[in-house]
Chains A and B, each alone.
Chain A
């Protein structure tokens, strides 16, 4: 039986409601919220936290999520009262300190990506994507080119890509990836034309390998009058070494909660800053920070950027997340930023070799791993019916969070593994040893995997029952 906060209740006298508010506007049904004691609250939620896996407690090789260490200094700095108590509508002269931080972050992200300008406002990667495709749409409309209704997206792309394109009013055309991981260029050529607004890509791709013909793809898309959008989810693979701007991309989003170590928080908040080449600058979402000649900082608004696609949130975005990303970059500096991709690649390639050595099959064995790589356990499935899901669940028993499974959908029974640069060799070696053991179990005692996890507060949950019963809120007494 789980202990519910709603079961911790103590009686308090009723509160007298304001007499200047008419009765028909006041609460009709009594406010049925519990009144726990402070110690009860502390114990309840502390105990709940102890049921979680987290980066602070477990290795978390989730591909495409970049579960690197979230430096605590970033949290301390973002929580300083001078930042934390700032009302968003404080006039600019009274918050130059915050504006200075945001302005620097805009500059540093532009430098890291090889782009001309940055807006920090999108609240998540998905919102950044929406802004990005909206800017592509605005760019074509501003040139009087209204026929470009289509957006090209690889089949292996992250689900937010087609969802964002559709939300921005585009028709999605899926481009297949070939078996070797490369984009189907013939299909691309067939579909490029005056009705295509652009293409959404990431590089390295979701298949964990670098798209070597990116310059060629960029030339073809630009040649057909389209723009290139870069999904920055995999930026950790190239941070400090390769710039999307140099690859030919016109617009991109960054996931600050991946590449720049801001916390995942059990599902957010993220921040999806967008960066653009000069020709898309007029369309950037507001607000952004600008610096006058004499050094005073202020927000840009609609009068400064009349062609902006608009505003995605009521204020300037996830400022607290931006503060953390700023502290992270400042801590690392130029040299540290370059080491991120170098050691992310080292850890990934090392793990790939080691896991192959203990018998696992790589999806693209002849390719270098980027910052992540894909294994397929189809061979285990053929041998004893064990699936990627079973391997994932058994890993939990060893105190290791499962990698990403069944994404990308192109590779059957796949595990997408991204160690990140903040994990030590010892952690990786232990992971390899555990994976070797799980492989033995898969072949000799598959039921150990099928019934995993065995050692956690709950086993595999009945998700069908959850969806049918739909108990989504503790019933009020």
Chain B
């Protein structure tokens, strides 16, 4: 059973979004996603300043057995990326909601409109 924190919002492509206030949102992949992918060995994340568009591919997650696209869960601009992930891709497996965060995005409030709550994501992850 994967962890799905109540306080976060989710995309149907298995990313989570945390509202940091002031129009800033932290993004990562869910526990369910890291379980499916297996041991992650490499992450490609957009640079700070890059615009991302919800539902579009913005990066790559590579594990030993699979390479998956990282989808932007919302429209916005990347303001910060987790620099430590380059040398420590295993944080995505070990602590996907904490140390394994991927990027911080500046977006307006409406950007989260289409996202799922924990219960809805839980149903999706189980199917």
Direct interface between A and B, CB < 8 A: yes
A residues in contact (CB < 8 Å) with B: 463-464, 467-468
- Per-residue CB contact flags for chain B residues 33-63 toward chain A (1 = under 8 Å, else 0) read 0000011111000000000000000000011
B100 to chain A, nearest CB (A): 14
Residues of B within 8 A of A468 (CB): 41-42, 89-90
Closest 6 CB pairs of A and B: A464-B39, A467-B41, A463-B64, A468-B41, A464-B64, A464-B41
Measured in the bound complex, the distance between the Cα atoms of B62 and A463 in whole Å is 13
Residues of A within 8 A of B41 (CB): 464, 467-468
Chain B residue with Cβ nearest A463: B64
Residues of B within 8 A of A463 (CB): 39, 64
Interface residues of B in 75-127 (CB under 8 A from A): 89-90
Residues of B within 8 A of A467 (CB): 41-42, 62, 64
Task: Sample 17 A-B pairs with CB under 8 A, ordered by A number.
Answer: A463-B39, A463-B64, A464-B38, A464-B39, A464-B40, A464-B41, A464-B63, A464-B64, A464-B90, A467-B41, A467-B42, A467-B62, A467-B64, A468-B41, A468-B42, A468-B89, A468-B90
Measured in the bound complex, the distance between the Cα atoms of B42 and A463 in whole Å is 13
Majority-rule SS of A interface residues:
helix
Chain B residue with Cβ nearest A470: B41
Residues of A within 8 A of B38 (CB): 464
Interface size of B in residues (CB-CB distance below 8 Å)? 10
Residues of A within 8 A of B63 (CB): 464
Residues of A within 8 A of B64 (CB): 463-464, 467
Measured in the bound complex, the distance between the Cα atoms of B66 and A467 in whole Å is 12
B1 to chain A, nearest CB (A): 15
A172 to chain B, nearest CB (A): 16
- Per-residue CB contact flags for chain B residues 16-29 toward chain A (1 = under 8 Å, else 0) read 00000000000000
Residues of B within 8 A of A464 (CB): 38-41, 63-64, 90
Measured in the bound complex, the distance between the Cα atoms of B103 and A372 in whole Å is 47
Chain B residue with Cβ nearest A464: B39
Measured in the bound complex, the distance between the Cα atoms of B90 and A468 in whole Å is 9
In the complex, which of the residues B42, B63, B64 has the most CB atoms of chain A within 10 Å of its own CB atom?
B64
Residues of A within 8 A of B89 (CB): 468
In the complex, which of the residues B39, B40, B89 has the most CB atoms of chain A within 10 Å of its own CB atom?
B39
Measured in the bound complex, the distance between the Cα atoms of B39 and A252 in whole Å is 38
A378 to chain B, nearest CB (A): 17
Measured in the bound complex, the distance between the Cα atoms of B38 and A37 in whole Å is 44
Measured in the bound complex, the distance between the Cα atoms of B62 and A464 in whole Å is 10
B86 to chain A, nearest CB (A): 10
A433 to chain B, nearest CB (A): 31
Measured in the bound complex, the distance between the Cα atoms of B10 and A272 in whole Å is 47
Measured in the bound complex, the distance between the Cα atoms of B70 and A405 in whole Å is 27
Chain A residue with Cβ nearest B38: A464
A414 to chain B, nearest CB (A): 15
Measured in the bound complex, the distance between the Cα atoms of B90 and A463 in whole Å is 13
Known pairs A463-B64, A464-B40; list 15 more (Cβ under 8 Å). Answer: A463-B39, A464-B38, A464-B39, A464-B41, A464-B63, A464-B64, A464-B90, A467-B41, A467-B42, A467-B62, A467-B64, A468-B41, A468-B42, A468-B89, A468-B90
Measured in the bound complex, the distance between the Cα atoms of B39 and A464 in whole Å is 6
Chain A residue with Cβ nearest B42: A467
A468 to chain B, nearest CB (A): 5
Residues of A within 8 A of B90 (CB): 464, 468
B81 to chain A, nearest CB (A): 19
Chain B residue with Cβ nearest A467: B41
